Amino acid sequence: MSALILDGKALAQQFEDEMRSRVDKLKDKTNGRTPILATILVGDDPASATYVKMKGNACERVGMGSIRVELPSSTTTEQLLAEIKKLNTNPDVHGILLQHPVPEQIDERACFDAIALEKDVDGVTCLGFGRMSMGEAAYGCATPQGIMRLLEHYKIPMSGKHAVVVGRSAILGKPMAMMLLNANATVTICHSRTQNLADHIRQADIVIGAVGKPEFIKADWIKDGAVVVDAGYHPEKCGDIELEPLKDRVSAWTPVPGGVGPMTINTLIFQTLESGEKSIG
């Protein structure tokens, strides 16, 4: 079987070209105004700093602006909420990203939920999740929304298919399941404590690995012809799924790296552009 490679890296590049054109049109229409993404980094975690820099670079590549708010690791919940409030009321800011994780003394959920719905381009608020789940207008969490854009671009059938999502995090597993359900898939949500996990996965037409453990999902659990989406990435340069033995017997799969990851940042920028077009266009 010749499997289809769901190439997120190439697709993100294609989408960036399209977004650059849209940004140019918006600038022409509004005397040079451009969508702006504000990123908030609390503390000095090097991985988080790298992710924030990558998001700023992605904005620059499509001609959008970005603002970096950097706060010390001693920041309190109240101080972070005050910064979010400033960005909420700034008419030149169209998207707000609070980089996860924040230092332990901060109430992360309270700070996520303080982000205005129309600027929640990373899809992290409870209100945004609820609206998305109900099929109402909201920006989806960037990683699962990126996966949906990847599946839709490659015309992967979802309606009527059995999708198994392995993972239940608030920003990946749970919204992924809701998005697939909204696309008329039949969805099973599993996790690291699911009994008889392999039996559930063997029934899946679409497998989404989002459990956060290296190669936790074994190749022999996955049936021939399935669509395999691996949302994990680990220092061992592998994902959550044992991919190598699958490449000749599934119908489609995402490489790690180069599959889901590039679509996550691309979706964040895409949703910021949409927010900017609504606000200033």
Q: Which residues are catalytic?
A: 55, 99, 122
Contact 36, 95 (CB under 8 A): yes
* Residue 243: strand pairing partners: none
The rounded distance, in Å, linking the Cα atoms of 168 and 96 is 24
| Residue type at position 263 | M
Q: Give ∠ CA 146-239-14 in degrees, rounded to 5.
A: 35
Unique residue bearing structure tokens 């989002």: 210
CB within 8 Å of 230: residues ≥ 6 apart: 209, 239, 240, 241, 243, 253, 254, 256, 259, 260
Q: Which residue matches tokens 């998001």?
A: 55
Cis peptide before 262 (omega within 30 of 0): no
- As a residue count, the chain comes to 281
